[in-house]
Structure 1
Amino acid sequence: MPKSNIHPNWFTNTSIVCDGKPLCLIGSTKQELQIDIWLANHPFYTDSLVLVDSEGRVEKFMKKYQFDSIT
């Protein structure tokens, strides 16, 4: 017999939230999903050169390889 009670709980109406705004409902093992980037604010889809960098990785890369700017 397979083991019982080994699977996580499944929530059918999990809300996806970005910047405090609910985006949609999906099925997930979590009750709410917080995301930072999605289609409407992703730099690739919005044609913006603004990079989301919370840990300074872009600056570290730029300094390491001696780039002046991102263009």
Structure 2
Amino acid sequence: MKEGVHPEYNKINALCACGNAVELGSVLSEIKVEICSACHPFFTGKQKLIDSAGRIEKFNKKYGKTSAE
């Protein structure tokens, strides 16, 4: 790499709103994120499928169930 052309690359801690810190390299001085792999529902397995508006029932009522007979 040429001198004086590239920004300085530092090891920093990326901080999540849940309190998790991940060490990584970046040209930024700090990184703050709202959600990370430690608190994201997809990665933690705590994801809940919520049908709050009754969308499935509304779809079945509108289009009806087709039988594959």
- Tell me which interval the TM-score lies in, with the shorter structure as reference length: 0.5 to 0.7
Report which of the two has the higher share of strand: 1
8 A contact 1:15–1:22 mirrored in 2: no
- Structure 2, unmatched stretches of 5+, are 57-69
- Structure 1, unmatched stretches of 5+, are 51-66
User: Which residue in 2 is equivalent to 1:68?
Assistant: 55
Runs of 4+ in 1 over 3 A off after TM superposition: none
Give the TM-score taking structure 1 as reference length. Answer: 0.51
Percentage of identical aligned residues:
25
Q: How many corresponding residue pairs?
A: 51
Question: Which protein has the larger Cα radius of gyration, Structure 1 or Structure 2?
Answer: 2
Q: How does 1:27-42 map to 2 (within 5 A)?
A: 27-42=25-40
- Aligned Cα root-mean-square deviation (Å): 2.8
